[in-house]
Amino acid sequence: MALALEVLVVSRLLCFLLVLRLGAGSEAEGVGEKFKIEGRAVVPGVRPQDWIHTARVLVEGEEHVGFFKTDGTFTVNDVPSGSYVVEIVSPAYRFEPVRVDITSKGKIREKRVEEGISGMLSGEGGHKARHVNYLKASEVIRLPYPIQIKSTGPPPYFLKRETWGWTDFLMNPMVMMMILPLLIILLLPKVVNTNDPDMRREMEQSMNMLNPNHELPDVSEFMTRLFSSKSSKSGSGSKAGKSGVLKRR
Amino acid sequence: MAPSLCLYIYSGLNQQRDVRLRYNNILGLWRTVVSVHSGILEDRAVMVVLSEIWLLFALFEFSAAIYEDQVGKFDWRRQYVGKPRFAHFDTPTQNARKLMVTTENNVIASLNLRNGEIIWRQVDKQGPEGNVDLMLFHGQDALTVSGRGRLLRSWDMNIGGLNWEILLEPGSFQTGSLVGSAEGVKYIAILKKASISLHYLTNGHQKWSEALPESEKVQYQLLYSSGSGAVYLVGMVAGSHLVVIRYDIEDGKIIEQVTVSAPWIRRLWDLCGIVADGILTCIDRESHSLWILPLESEHEPEQILLQSLELELPEKFEGKILTTQSSPLVASSAQFCLQLSESHYALLQLHEGVVTLLRDFVQAVLVSFATTGDKVVTAVMTAKNKTAFGINLYSAENGRRLLDTAMNFNLDPNCGQPEQLYIHAFLKKDDSVGYRALVQTLDHALIFIQQPGRIVWTREEALAEVITMEMVDLPLTGTQAELEGEFGKKADGPMAMFMKRLSSQLILLQAWTSQLLKMFYDARKPRSHSKNEITIENLARDEFNLQKMMVMVTASGKLFGIDSSSGTILWKQYFENVKPGSSFKLAVQRTTAHFPHPPQCTLIIKDKETRLSSLHVFNPIFGKRSQINPPVLTRPILQSLLLPIMDQDYAKVLLLIDDEHKVTVFPSSRNILQQLQDSAPVIFFYLVDPVWGKLNGFRLHKDLRTEEIWEVVIPTETQKIVIVKGKRSNEHVHSQGRVMGDRSVLYKYLNPNLLAVVTESVDTHHERTFICVYLIDGVTGRIIHESVQRKARGPVYVVHSENWVVYQYWNTKSRRNEMTVLELYEGTEQYNSTAFSSLDRPFSPIIFQQSYIFPSAISLVEATITDKGITSRHLLIGLHSGGILSLPKAFLDPRRPEVPSEQSREENLIPYAPELPIRSEWYINYNQSVSRVRGIYTAPSGLESTCLVVVYGLDIFQTRVYPSKQFDVLKDDYDYVLISSVLFGLVFTTMITKRLAQVKLLNRAWR
């Protein structure tokens, strides 16, 4: 009796695919028409028979409940038209909840049956806290049939223990800040041969580059000159003495 | 570069030291505050420190999560299915492993026969829409009809999933049966009030569906097929005639329709059955006879008087018939069972139109048929006395007792009488019949028994419907009690006191050494042996009072005492006279703190029909009925109050108010009455009448009369009262206010008499529906606050604690769940800082309100509670998915700013976000989901950081939560090895370096 129809899917999470096929169910007694929500859920790498016995499909809390078939498909029957959040609950696997809008216009029923009911699916919940209302129509995507709700893996229920290891200690920023300069001080002179005249020239050049204003006297030079001029006599004397000794030799 | 690095390290160290200092501060101050109830100034200081605790914790993430290695360390879960409606053993062989059950709680489950554990379980919707009306079995498939005949499902019993599911046509469901034809069992027939349909067993598709003739007059109730290619349908008009219709299986055409006059017919089910090859046998209760009518021929029914069978009939004959058909492919067995009275059964045989008596079972409790291979056996259960029972098997063919089939067993004396018997018969290797029995008792226990009477397992399914519970502290051990007693006794003098002190210290030392020795011995033993079982004898309070006794009251009228640390049932007590639908209230009148007086609990049981209540007083630790005689209540009780007034035996007073507003006092000793007279002017109580939408406040007079002092009427044309919630009496609020960013204090409005009243609109149209929250002072009747939430619909869940109310509702406009928090503050000045009086409050409180979106439907909310109320609060939210979410209250703070400012940052307010987060680390029950949460019970423990949580519904889950992490004990992952190795290492290096230094000094001296 149910007619398979076209599916309009609004999905915030483009990476995961979602299927819902909506069919017009048989007319129920009492108020309004009842529909069914059909779909399929997949846990990658796990056979359906290994997880479906702990899973259920909840529509708007526990208002409507559906169970899984052994092939991983599900049907929720007797749902009146409206907007619902469909959740697949399983303690072992996490599924994103989806919002399903079942629209029905009683007057153009035949047409509706021909065209089908559009299922508006959209991601809801999640940590980014965007609500369905904020979604734009441009984000509506038509998904091919059949489409699937894919599990995003087991939920992380547990915190990780902080374990003490040498790597943790070494990767500590403080330790890193202490060790890295130490390494630089110790290793750099060995890597760079300072005795090489080419290298020295290069270094001098780079130092000059760092000192953009050549006219300005360097402060340190100035200071040394200032102090050395005072003690120049003794300094030169000793130097002369030394050189004298050398000469004498 | 080097100096700057140094500075950085220095500042880092500084920070660390700072934090540590704060930490010490907290612990120090906490102690002083605990001992002395402080004034404002000190309070303020404490609050400052508290906010610092908050800072300290804010450094970490909000945490309710556990580590993976803590799984099962302090939590446990027990799963239940409920009272079985249908049960079936999977194969009729000795190595059957599974038992399929569907229960009154709309659960379909498969149980392991070896240990009674659940293999898989599917929980359907609550209420009649999920009700399982019928369960049938075909091979490895179980067929269920649920939701008043709406859905036909086929379950794979091995996997726990559906093979197929189809929607049946509307109509009230009557019965269904498997239909056998020449090719085997291929169809299931579903009988509705006005139609019959046949479905394929392989995919559920409908083969045919036919409207029933004259369905508005004739009640069709019986279906029968025997593999002959036809389905018989029997209908009747009470007191007039029977209609028998034969349908062709292939096309649903009526082959034959017979109307037989039967003025004696009353109803078909349990009075009529199909026996032998399609012979309808009915009991006529009035003329004490059997009527026999072959379905195929057009004979007039034949009457057989029961007296002619030499059966003794009781005066008021309430006969029932029990027939059996081993498979839909063969005819019903020619033997059937007749229940003559409560304990009198007869096994009869119908052979060629003659009924003969095969065996008379006098004093039988239950009788059940079972089939194995081609043998049909009758199991008869007899009672020797109240607890001893026996089961015997009789061959149905000749009524002889089968050899070696006697089974004798004893049921728990605190257990109900057997109600239902399921027999799993099988053929042994020597072709004799062996069997196992599943006994269901009135208190919803399932007992599986093996020959010769060994109870293999027992399931207490009453625990699937826990109504209320309390946690009671365990008693002290002998030595602890000795120490406690030291202070309680009258002092003889300083010297005697000193001697007493010494001796008790000696006792402690002795206990400690013996404990050490025990630990030493246990360590040498293999692991499995050292695991000591908890029994009622070795129950004792632990160091931090983390282990408690859970007293659980179930809907069946059975009480359980469960050890909270392991989930072991320590005692059970069944009240036989409790009718279903009774309401219960449990009050702890005396805790274990008053040694040597035993603790005392009182259970108030209120009957639904008579509205009369009865009191039951018992010891919650041992489950024994107390010697105290409670007062007999002759009038319906409307309200019960547990007053903090104690009698000379330290039992708190229970005030019971009946429908004439008269007060009954229990216990009603003279001492109590005197105390009541003294304190009568300060005793107020309120009554709620949801039918008339009235809340009435009363006061107590000295002569125990009551006087109405206020009345609040909520117009019932527009609203109905759904929830009235006060605060918990054992709740402590530690800080009187909150320190704001500008160093001023915002004092909390802590009115212990405040009631949160929630009303829902009668009009449920999504445009006009609303909910209303009133905060009413229970003493004066003053409405302190009123807020209307338009376009909101229930169910509303409320938590009322400290100075805040959190409620959850459904927003019909945006179609989402929302939570609103109300917080009440007095302002920056306190009106009266020493005591709160409802009668003297000239200023109305300042109310902050904020709403959030909660991204899931919920089934319950409760708040954590701790001993002194220092620890921050969390909300425990039961979700329909089975998860229990622990949401920090800090997210539900109406002062969360939309734009964070410097001050709000200092106060550690989280900036406002419309949606509340749900993180999977916040599930306190990780993957141990709890179905259909009906209640969350929180209790403080001896540790301030720790709150004990019990979640009950279909399952029971117990755990501990640490809303502010474990700040008062070392964490369980505290690295003792590292700390001690570092310590030893340091000591060792000091010794070595000392030695080296000496050597060096010596060498230098010699140089």
pLDDT tens-digit map of B640-692: 888 888 888 888 999 898 888 888 888 888 888 888 888 888 889 899 998 89
What does the pLDDT average to over B726-742? 88
CA distances for B18 relative to B62, B741, B910, angstroms: 21, 20, 24
Please provide the DSSP assignment of B244-296 as one string: EEEEETTT--EEEEEEEE-TT---STTTEEEETTTEEEEEETTTTEEEEEESS
- Closest CA–CA distance from residue A53 to any residue of chain B (Å): 5
Lowest-confidence segment of A229-233, B142-146, B375-379, B697-701 by average pLDDT: A229-233
Is B1000 part of any domain?
A: yes
Distance CA B249, CA B573 (A): 53
Least CB–CB distance from A75: residue in B124, B165, B923: B165
Task: Pick the more confident residue, B961 or A230.
Answer: B961
- Secondary structure of residue B657 in the 3-state scheme: strand
pTM attached to this predicted model: 0.82
Please name which of B273, B150, B145 lies closest in space to residue B221, comparing C-alpha atoms.
Answer: B273
What is the side-by-side order of every strand in the sheet holding B230-237? B219-224, B230-237, B241-248, B254-261
Which residue type sits at B846? Answer: I
Q: Is A2 on the interface with B (CB under 8 A)?
A: no
Query: How many Cβ contacts (< 8 angstroms) between chains A and B?
Result: 144
Is B991 part of any domain?
A: yes
Q: Residue B534 — pLDDT band, cuts 50, 70, 90?
A: low
Note whether A73 and A39 are within 8 A (CB).
yes
- CB–CB contact B161 A158 (8 Å): no
The reported pLDDT for the residue numbered A5 is 31
The total number of structural domains that make up chain B: 1
Distance CA B137, CA B26 (A): 65
Distance CA B233, CA B225 (A): 9
The reported pLDDT for the residue numbered B422 is 92
State pLDDT tens for residues B778-811. 899 999 999 999 999 888 999 999 899 999 999 8
Is B315 part of any domain?
A: no
* Enclosing H/E stretch for A98: strand A98-102
Note whether A51 and A92 are within 8 A (CB).
yes
State pLDDT tens for residues B103-133. 999 999 999 999 999 999 999 988 888 899 9
- Closest CA–CA distance from residue B155 to any residue of chain A (Å): 9
Q: Residue B63 — pLDDT band, cuts 50, 70, 90?
A: low
Is B986 part of any domain?
A: yes
Note whether B236 and B221 are within 8 A (CB).
yes
- Closest CA–CA distance from residue B159 to any residue of chain A (Å): 6
Straight-line distance from the first to the last Cα atom of chain B, in angstroms, rounded to the nearest whole number: 41
Q: Please give the sequence-ordered ranges of beta strands (E in DSSP) within B765-864, or none if there are none.
A: 770-777, 783-790, 792-801, 804-811, 816-827, 846-854, 858-863
Note whether B926 and A157 are within 8 A (CB).
yes
What does the pLDDT average to over B743-761? 92
Distance CA B653, CA B675 (A): 10
Eight-state DSSP code of residue B959: E
Burial of B791 (0-12, 13-18, 19+ CB in 10 A): middle
Eight-state DSSP code of residue B893: -
Count Cβ atoms below 10 Å from residue B584 Cβ, excluding itself: 19
Percent of chain B topping pLDDT 70: 91
Contacts B126 to A, Cβ<8 Å:
62
State pLDDT tens for residues A162-205. 776 777 777 778 888 888 889 888 888 777 766 777 877 887 78
| Chain A CA closest to residue B8 | A174
ipTM of the complex: 0.82
State pLDDT tens for residues B582-598. 889 999 999 888 877 88
Distance CA B691, CA B722 (A): 10
Q: Residue B154 — pLDDT band, cuts 50, 70, 90?
A: very high
- CB–CB contact A158 B918 (8 Å): no
Is B984 part of any domain?
A: yes
The reported pLDDT for the residue numbered B551 is 94
CA dihedral B893, B899, B901, B904 (to 10 degrees): 0
Count Cβ atoms below 10 Å from residue B667 Cβ, excluding itself: 21
Task: Pick the more confident residue, B210 or A120.
Answer: B210
Lowest-confidence segment of B36-50, B365-379, B860-874, B961-975 by average pLDDT: B36-50
The reported pLDDT for the residue numbered B757 is 94
- CB–CB contact B122 A181 (8 Å): no
- Closest CA–CA distance from residue B122 to any residue of chain A (Å): 7
The reported pLDDT for the residue numbered A100 is 78
Distance CA B37, CA B223 (A): 76
pLDDT at A249 over 70: no
Q: Which domain holds residue B1001?
A: 975-1006
In B63-82, the residues whose Cβ lies within 8 Å of chain A are: 63, 65-69, 71
Percent of chain B topping pLDDT 90: 33
Please state at what angle helix B478-488 crosses helix B494-524, rounded to 10 degrees: 170
- Rank B41-50, B422-431, B538-547 by mean pLDDT and report only the highest: B422-431
In B284-343, the residues whose Cβ lies within 8 Å of chain A are: none
Distance CA B123, CA B111 (A): 14
For residue B959, the Cα-to-chain-centroid distance in whole angstroms is 15
Non-local CB neighbours of A83 within 8 Å, separated by 6+ positions: A99, A100, A101, A102, A120, B815
Best mutation target among A63, A65, A177, A182 (most B Cβ atoms within 10 Å) is A65
Least CB–CB distance from B162: residue in A25, A54, A68: A68
Least CB–CB distance from A87: residue in B8, B816, B881: B881
Distance CA B863, CA B883 (A): 16
Distance CA B656, CA B292 (A): 59
Is B994 part of any domain?
A: yes
Q: Please give the sequence-ordered ranges of beta strands (E in DSSP) within B6-69, or none if there are none.
A: 66-67
Non-local CB neighbours of B161 within 8 Å, separated by 6+ positions: A48, A49, A52, A53, A67, A68, A69, A70, B155
Q: Is B159 on the interface with A (CB under 8 A)?
A: yes
Lowest-confidence segment of A112-121, A198-207, B180-189, B515-524 by average pLDDT: A112-121
Please state at what angle helix A232-248 crosses helix A219-230, rounded to 10 degrees: 80
pLDDT at B27 over 80: no
The angle subtended at Cα B505 by Cα B503 and Cα B506, nearest 5°, is: 60
Mean pLDDT of chain B: 84
Is B983 part of any domain?
A: yes
The reported pLDDT for the residue numbered B59 is 36
Q: Which residues pair with B686 in a beta bridge?
A: B697
Best mutation target among B108, B915, B930 (most A Cβ atoms within 10 Å) is B915
- Closest CA–CA distance from residue B773 to any residue of chain A (Å): 23
Is B965 part of any domain?
A: no
Q: Is A70 on the interface with B (CB under 8 A)?
A: yes
State pLDDT tens for residues B890-938. 999 999 999 888 888 888 889 998 888 888 889 998 889 999 999 999 9
Please name which of B793, B784, B738 lies closest in space to residue B906, comparing C-alpha atoms.
Answer: B738
Q: Is B859 on the interface with A (CB under 8 A)?
A: yes
Mean pLDDT of chain A: 64
The reported pLDDT for the residue numbered B71 is 85
The angle subtended at Cα B514 by Cα B513 and Cα B515, nearest 5°, is: 90
Straight-line distance from the first to the last Cα atom of chain A, in angstroms, rounded to the nearest whole number: 119
